[in-house]
Every structure is written in structure tokens, then in C-alpha cells.
Amino acid sequence: MNYIKAKFLIGDNPSGRAYTYRCAEELKAGEMVIDAKGSKLIVVDEPVWIETYCADKVAVVKKYIDPVAEESEE
């Protein structure tokens, strides 16, 4: 499991503070992710180190795939 820092997007701009999330994919700064509620976030930092005793309390995100871009590839 990988841990990242990400900010919520308001419009197309990152807003507020960065929060720590975990994800299965390897992500880089600038990539977009989506949380369980459907909110879009942008990765702002490279992977972070986290204490193992609190790792299960970190929310999970997954890489965002733009449905419009996916249709145009087909």
C-alpha cells in the first residue's frame, strides 16, 4: 500500500490543506485521484511515511480515469 498527500479540487484548482491517503497504485505529484465519496483530489507530494499503528485509519483513494478521455481512446 502506498501513502500520498493530496488536496481537494475546487473547479480545477487545488484548495486547502493536503491530507494523507492510501492507494494501491503508484502515484506521482500532479495525478488526479478520487475518494469513496466521489470527490476529486490532486496528488501534491511524493509518497509519505506513516506510522504502522495508524495506517488502517487512513482513507483509501484510487486513480481517477476521465470517462471522456477513455471513450476517445476506443
Residues 28-69 pLDDT 10s: 999 999 999 999 999 998 667 776 656 677 888 899 988 876
Q: Where are the alpha helices (DSSP H) in 5-66?
A: none
Q: Which three cell numbers stand for residue 50?
A: 506513516
> The whole model's pTM is what?
0.76
Beta bridge partners of 4: 21
Q: Would you put residue 30 in left (φ > 0), alpha (ψ -120 to 50) or beta? A: left
Q: Where are the alpha helices (DSSP H) in the chain?
A: 67-73
What pLDDT, on the 0 to 100 scale, is given for residue 44? 93
